[in-house]
Amino acid sequence: MLTALVVLAGAGLLLGLVISVLSVVAGLALRANVITPTAYRAERMKAHPVRTGEFWPDLAWPFYPLRQARTDLARIEAERRARYGKLWKWPSRPIVWILLLPISAAAVICLLVAGLTTVLLGALFTLVTVICAGVSAAVFAVTALVLRGIESSWHRMMRAEASCPHCYHVTARPAYRCPGCSRLHRDLRPGRLGLFTRRCECGMLLPTMVLRAAWRLTAICQRCGKPLRVGSGTLRDVRIPIFGDTSAGKTRLLYAGLESLIDTTSRAQIPLGFPDEESEDQARIALDVIRSGRNTVKTSFALPTALTCQVGQGVGSTLVHLFDAAGEEYRGPQMQDSLGFLDHGNCLVYVLDPFSIGSVRDHMAGQNATVIRLAHAAAGDPETAYGEVVSRLRDNGVAANRQRLAIVVSKADLLAAGGLELPEASDAIADWLMHSGVHNLVLSARREFAEVRYFAVASLAATETTRTYDPGAPLRWLLVSRGVRLRAGPDTESSPRVPGGRNRPGQGSQTNGDQGTPAKAQL
């Protein structure tokens, strides 16, 4: 009797083993229930509905232990139940089995043992899967946190951001376009969709982390969907809006400042390039204008696209975005909508046309009328554009008291030609402005901004004989304040040399200018 029971148990054990193996094979391979990226996204959105202003989650395969493992176990269990359940469907009526009691009793014993075996084997497989998934998920979570920490530390340390040169939106993490299907991936941080890489729904493997994706994928603006500069989000990002009244000399200052910057970096043997063709074309036009001595054309009313240059090389380099809008934009209500770059600037340059100051104009009129004609003086009050911008910053909650402002008195060469030599030191220029009747601007700037420095500038090419009024000085001061290296040695703001190589020992600390003798620019 006991022997028969042992034989029946052995048969049940074998049957249970076969059912378990078949269930696992069917559940994992033949009839697997796969959670696709679309299904996973739908689940996530059901659990956490997307609110206004948020983007839909990215379409990529989730990490196996976080979602698919659960589905696989459920599928195997369903297969096991279905297979085992079928065994209990007797081929004949119950009365027949009652009449054939010894046989049916043996079958029941065999099936019970088989059922117990499948349960035990299923439990073992579940235990193994859960332990594997748990351990991997724990390691995964810790690694993801470490990687995210590394990335955010990099962003903090480098002041790396991704800013759109077209719509001026600034974000720490741009979106990236999948090279396979052009679908946007808006959040490439290590997470549920992958630790070091993620697989797009189309099957393309994408790197995670902005630090890795920046050089392999096309960065896209999260807001307007236009391509960003190469390296955006990884490199130090410095945005410098240049504002001022119509004809104040903003565009010319931008062009000449860029030329001076190229000159400075080439002398210090620091590479300066342009991240893409668009920037390179803009720069070429700018440099042509400055080097040929032509007048700049009137800036169009269209929204300005940043002129971007890359100072340095590799991951330690800096993307410098220079913004210049038409002076008319700084007046009236349209400024609120169109000059978004002002809100995202790291520092500001205000260009003041000295010929728009009444007392200067009067002085010049008595001396040299030709100079006034050449100056194309700005018509408006020099304090108007400044006041509008400061009001805008205040209204939009921009912390101007954490920013630096370079106040640039332009056309210094024309003033000199008219017999009015501007001082070079910042404090002396401020005093001169105070005495010239622009005291409200000077007092307001001192109050509103973290640091203000004054520059007298002649927006001429680097090849000009005199560089007393160096147009690159304001940019250099602002860039150095953002941690940009512009010299071969350590940067020091407190001991700059006076432009043109004229050192003035003992002068106040806020002398404007920097180092070295001028040399030919490379571009």
Asked if 58 touches other proteins (CB under 8 A), the answer is: no
- Choose which of 189, 199, 223, 497 interacts with other proteins (CB under 8 A): 199
- Choose which of 40, 84, 125, 168 interacts with other proteins (CB under 8 A): 125
For other proteins, the closer of residues 34 and 50 by Cβ is 34
For other proteins, the closer of residues 38 and 313 by Cβ is 38
Window 277-306: contact mask with other proteins (x via CB under 8 A): ------------------------------
Q: Distance between terminal CA atoms of the chain?
A: 101
Only one of the segments 107-115, 195-203, 379-387, 514-522 lies at the binding site for other proteins (rule: CB under 8 A); that segment is 195-203
Closest CA to 496 of 479, 516, 481, 467: 516
**Angle 101-158/68-87 helices, nearest 10 degrees?**
180
Asked if 124 touches other proteins (CB under 8 A), the answer is: yes
Asked if 129 touches other proteins (CB under 8 A), the answer is: yes
Q: Is 374 left (phi over 0), alpha (psi -120 to 50) or beta?
A: alpha
- Choose which of 42, 132, 443, 488 interacts with other proteins (CB under 8 A): 132
| Beta carbons within 10 angstroms of residue 205's beta carbon | 14
Asked if 184 touches other proteins (CB under 8 A), the answer is: no
Asked if 201 touches other proteins (CB under 8 A), the answer is: yes
- Choose which of 65, 231, 327, 382 interacts with other proteins (CB under 8 A): 65
Window 135-154: contact mask with other proteins (x via CB under 8 A): -x------------------
Asked if 82 touches other proteins (CB under 8 A), the answer is: no
- Choose which of 15, 69, 114, 144 interacts with other proteins (CB under 8 A): 69
Closest CA to 236 of 184, 308, 303: 308
Closest CA to 468 of 481, 453, 458: 458
For other proteins, the closer of residues 203 and 501 by Cβ is 203
Distance of closest approach, residue 476 Cβ to other proteins, in angstroms: 50
- Residues pairing with 206 in the sheet: 198
Distance of closest approach, residue 221 Cβ to other proteins, in angstroms: 29
For other proteins, the closer of residues 117 and 260 by Cβ is 117
What angle is formed at CA 168 by the lines to CA 243 and CA 408, rounded to 5 degrees? Answer: 20
- Choose which of 44, 64, 374, 497 interacts with other proteins (CB under 8 A): 64
CB 348 within 8 Å of CB 403? yes
**Residue 475 is which amino acid?**
L
Q: Within positions 19 to 48, which residues make up the interface with other proteins, using CB under 8 A? A: 24, 28-29, 34, 36
Asked if 388 touches other proteins (CB under 8 A), the answer is: no
Asked if 379 touches other proteins (CB under 8 A), the answer is: no
Asked if 311 touches other proteins (CB under 8 A), the answer is: no
Q: Which helix (H) or strand (E) holds 116?
A: helix 101-158
Q: Which residues have CB under 8 Å from 39's CB, separation 6+?
A: none
Q: Within positions 241 to 270, which residues make up the interface with other proteins, using CB under 8 A? A: none
CA distance 127 to 114: 20
* 206 Cα distance to chain centroid: 18
- Choose which of 23, 68, 163, 222 interacts with other proteins (CB under 8 A): 68
For other proteins, the closer of residues 124 and 365 by Cβ is 124
CA distance 259 to 272: 11
Distance of closest approach, residue 471 Cβ to other proteins, in angstroms: 55
Asked if 203 touches other proteins (CB under 8 A), the answer is: yes
Q: Which residue has the tokens 């720069």?
A: 283
Q: Hey, which bits of 336-472 come out as E strands?
A: 347-352, 404-409, 451-456
| Beta carbons within 10 angstroms of residue 48's beta carbon | 10
Q: How far is CA 137 from CA 120, 122, 194, in A?
A: 25, 22, 11
For other proteins, the closer of residues 3 and 52 by Cβ is 3
Closest CA to 440 of 399, 516, 498, 383: 383
Query: For the residues of 423-485, what is the DSSP string, one character each?
Result: PSBHHHHHHHHHHTT-HHHHHHHHHHSSEEEEEE-----TTSS--TT-TTHHHHHHHHHTT--
- Choose which of 26, 133, 178, 256 interacts with other proteins (CB under 8 A): 133
CB 437 within 8 Å of CB 358? yes
The C-alpha torsion from 171 through 44 and 28 to 198, rounded to 10°, is 0
Asked if 14 touches other proteins (CB under 8 A), the answer is: no
Distance of closest approach, residue 68 Cβ to other proteins, in angstroms: 6
Asked if 61 touches other proteins (CB under 8 A), the answer is: yes
CB 200 within 8 Å of CB 59? yes
Distance of closest approach, residue 3 Cβ to other proteins, in angstroms: 5
Only one of the segments 2-10, 146-154, 223-231, 423-431 lies at the binding site for other proteins (rule: CB under 8 A); that segment is 2-10
Distance of closest approach, residue 2 Cβ to other proteins, in angstroms: 5
Go through 179-190 and write b for each residue having 16 or more CB atoms within 10 A of its CB, e for each that does not.
Answer: eeeebbbbebbb
**Residue 81 is which amino acid?**
R
Q: Which residues bind other proteins (CB under 8 A)?
A: 2-3, 6, 24, 28-29, 34, 36, 61, 63-65, 68-69, 72, 121, 124-125, 128-129, 132-133, 136, 199, 201, 203
